[in-house]
A and B are shown apart, each in its own frame.
Chain A
Amino acid sequence: MSMDATHRIELYGVTISAGDAWRRVPLVSGIVGMLGVVASVALGRGEAADQLYFSWLVAFLFFLSIALGAMFFVLVHFVCRAGWGVAVRRLSENVMATVPLFAALFVPVAAGMHHLFHWTDAEAVAHDALLQSKAPYLNTSFFFVRAAVYFTCWTVIALVYYRGSCRQDDSGDESITRRLTARSGPAIVLYAVTVSFAAIDWIMSLDPHWYSTIFGVYYFSGALVGTFSFTVLIAVALRRAGYLRHAVTVEHFHDLGKLLFAFSLFWAYIAFSQFFLIWYANLPEETVWYMRRLEGSWKALTIVLALGHFAVPFFFLMSRTIKRHRGLLVIGAIWMLLIHLLDIYWLVMPVLHAHGVRPALLDLTTLVGIGGLFFALFGWLLTRRALVPMRDPRLMESLSLENF
């Protein structure tokens, strides 16, 4: 091994040290998560079952979107042979690798499908011509087959890219990068199809009469906002704890901020495109979805969402100074993460509470539950490996990144 390589491993092969607070994350967060799940189950008995399943779905979709967003970010690195982001790629790889957990967290969604999805009600379908014609797609067995396909695809992609990157840490074999690059094209196509259909199955079909052909992209655009916010927050937290100081610089934060800015605008573009066509065509079976969200207290939430997810970040994150200031970028990231959660809530909850916003304790407990388990697994993955893909052939390119 050359001097250079030894030096490189010393500098960038840093793992979370024993005794560091991050080492306790898996256990503490796991316990908190379990308590959240237990509390949710306890609170969600009897009458509250509907609320339990809808709240669970919101929390599930929120954290899943962060993991799926990270998967896209990792894949895009290979598709574009991107150099700049290698120093932060390991963080996203760890987030991406939590995807198998969501297969387990999907079980309550499957169990509660009769509470969530109107189209599972055979009685209702029998009296509904539209649902009957959609039955070849919207039926229970095909729904499960599709879910199995999504989770299989995501798990395979996550494992291939996570393990490939880890193996390169050990061997320094550059052919791994070439192999992962060659597979990234097909992987990203598979990703696009599965994420789109998952969004259709798990969110759009809550309102089975309604349809929007852009819906998959809508969920995807929010997922990217979620994952970039999360990455910024984790990177800042790790730097605070004394890690990544040689690797992740203000230039990387600047670029993550740019992506956060770009995807909040992309979300606005997609959200408006969806709204615009439906508003203009004014067909009853399409407008009903927006009617519900533009009445009573839901209207207030819609306005908050439009301003908070578009106008606020547009002016706040536009400035170079803000993106390069860690404290201000953190404020932006927290804001975007919360507004992304609101976005998911706004997609799902009006189906249950048609006449107005009704916050419930279960919204909180399910978030703590799923979030806790997600963060526990993420924390465990984070402590297992170096925080930077230390022998990636493009690491040096990433470390010398500069924005002009």
Chain B
Amino acid sequence: MLARFAGPREIYGACQKVREAGYTKWDAHTPFPVHGLERAMGLKASKLPWIVLVLGLGGAAGAMLFQWWVSAVAYPLVISGKPLFSWPAFVPVTFEVGILCGALGAVVGMLALNQLPTLYHPLFNSKKFDRVTDDQFFISIESWDPKFDAEETSELLRRIGAIEVELVDH
């Protein structure tokens, strides 16, 4: 179900009320970032930093381990009289692989947490929704939200200031 709101102020208040009403499968769509909206919606902190940390440290550890295995176990070769496992020489690669894994983790993790790429979404069946990237503010509530009820939800959205409410086809 899609509801249109007049502006950032209205949608901010509406988000708080949708959250208070106990809905969980819903989202707000605005043409530009509305500061503080994530708090009004009650969004939790992203898990992304943890993914990046684990992958970054894992990548670094893996790179160091791999270099140790190559130079000290699989193909021991003395280079400029230094010990086989000369860890300082391995630091640049360790660092770079750590960064690489962290960065890839950030991109892939971001896509995964956003469930992207999503090739089809019913919201795009609505003609009005096209203007979300232009000048319109919307809240969408999924029909599979446990609290969803076509009439009740529609009434709630109107009560909290929706200008128009539309039930979008699947």
Known: A272-B88, A318-B53, A402-B35. 12 other contacts (CB 8 A): A272-B91, A275-B88, A276-B88, A276-B91, A276-B92, A279-B88, A280-B80, A280-B88, A280-B89, A282-B80, A320-B49, A402-B36
Q: How far is the CA of A279 from the CA of B86 in the complex (A)?
A: 10
**Given the complex of chains A and B, what is the CA–CA distance between A318 and B91 in angstroms?**
21
* Set of chain A residues within 8 Å of B36, measured between Cβ atoms: 402
The chain B residue with its CB closest to the CB of A400 is B35
Q: Footprint of B on A, CB under 8 Å?
A: 272, 275-276, 279-280, 282, 318, 320, 402
CB distance from B52 to the nearest CB of A (A): 11
Complex: A276 Cα to B89 Cα, angstroms: 7
**A175-B158 Cα distance, complex, nearest whole Å:** 51
Q: Report the separation of the CA atoms of residues A252 and B143 in the bound assembly, to the nearest whole angstrom.
A: 42
Q: B: which residues have CB within 8 A of A? A: 35-36, 49, 53, 80, 88-89, 91-92
Which 9 residue pairs are nearest across A and B when measured between Cβ atoms?
A279-B88, A276-B88, A272-B91, A402-B35, A280-B89, A276-B91, A282-B80, A275-B88, A280-B88
* Cβ of B93 to closest chain A Cβ, rounded Å: 12
Contact sample, A vs B, 13 pairs, CB 8 Å cutoff: A272-B88, A272-B91, A276-B88, A276-B91, A276-B92, A279-B88, A280-B80, A280-B89, A282-B80, A318-B53, A320-B49, A402-B35, A402-B36
Q: How far is the CA of A282 from the CA of B79 in the complex (A)?
A: 12
Closest-by-CB residue of A relative to B81 is A282
CB distance from B54 to the nearest CB of A (A): 13
Closest to A272 in B: B91
Q: Enumerate chain A residues within 8 angstroms of B92, measured Cβ to Cβ.
A: 276
- Measured between beta carbons, the chain B residues less than 8 angstroms from A402 are 35-36
B35: which A residues are within 8 A, CB to CB?
402
Measured in the bound complex, the distance between the Cα atoms of B49 and A272 in whole Å is: 26
Give the distance to chain B from A273, nearest Cβ to Cβ, in Å. Answer: 9
Bound Cα distance from A272 to B90, whole angstroms: 12
- Cα of A318 to Cα of B89 in the assembled complex, Å: 26
Residue of B nearest to A282 (CB): B80
A276 to B95, CA, bound (A): 13
CB neighbours (8 Å) of A282 from chain B are 80
Q: How far is the CB of B36 from chain A (nearest CB, A)?
A: 8
For the complex, what is the distance from the CA of A280 to the CA of B53, rounded to whole Å?
Answer: 30
Residues of B within 8 A of A280 (CB): 80, 88-89
A272 to B91 Cα, complex, angstroms: 9
CB distance from A324 to the nearest CB of B (A): 12
Q: A272: which B residues are within 8 A, CB to CB?
A: 88, 91
Q: A400 to B92: give the CA distance in the assembly, Å.
A: 40
Would you give the shortest CB distance from B45 to chain A, in whole angstroms? 8
Chain B's closest residue to A402 (CB) is: B35
B49 shortest CB reach to chain A, Å:
8
- Give the chain A neighbours of B53 by CB distance below 8 A: 318
